Amino acid sequence: MTPVIPPFDGRSIGRWLAGGTAGEPTAPGPAHTPGGYHSFEHRWALADAFAFHERIGPARVAGRTRELADRLKDGLAGIRGVRLVTPRAADLSAGVVCCEVPDVPVGEAVGRLYAAGVIASSTPYRPSYLRFGATIANDEQDVEAALRAVRTLV
């Protein structure tokens, strides 16, 4: 294979900058990996994030996640025209909540929700579902905003 994207790997980028005349890379992997810049802000925040989790404890993190996910599941299940896919039982689910809006393609739903200020995604498998994440970074107002936005899809 011929690499088409210049990687940031030191062995390969020099060859690319030289127009590919410096010989073939010794390992094909780096030559086919775009590389790029790392998310330093996220990496720098990790120590504080872990300290926060340790301070409040995993039980509080899990409890709050479950509380918000349950609220989201209950709300989605109550919207006519929306089919909740995630089991409502807490022992069968966690913070990821999936649903289906049968008459709206999932990609369109994600885009419309984004335009309304709600972040959702699509599951990477078939069938693909609309996916929300309830986390300790969210609150009740976030859940209510998501539910209001989903109501506009039906």
CATH number for the domain harbouring residue 131: 3.90.1150.10
Domain presence at residue 11: no
Domain presence at residue 14: no
CA dist 99 and 120 (Å) reads: 11
Give me the residue label for tokens 């969210």.
Answer: 138
Backbone angles phi, psi at 100, to 5 degrees: -135, 135
Domain ranges, residue 115: 58-151
Query: In 3-state terms, what secondary structure has residue 131?
Result: strand
Q: Answer with the residue of higher pLDDT: 17 or 97.
A: 97
Domain presence at residue 107: yes
User: 8-49, pLDDT tens digit by residue?
Assistant: 666 655 665 666 555 555 566 666 665 666 677 888 899 999
What is the mean predicted confidence (pLDDT) over 69-82? 97
Query: What value does the mean pLDDT of the chain take?
Result: 86
User: 109-143, pLDDT tens digit by residue?
Assistant: 999 999 999 999 999 888 999 999 999 989 999 99
- C-alpha torsion sign, points 82, 85, 88, 94: negative
Burial classification of residue 113, based on how many CB atoms lie within 10 Å of its CB (0-12 exposed, 13-18 middle, 19 or more buried): buried
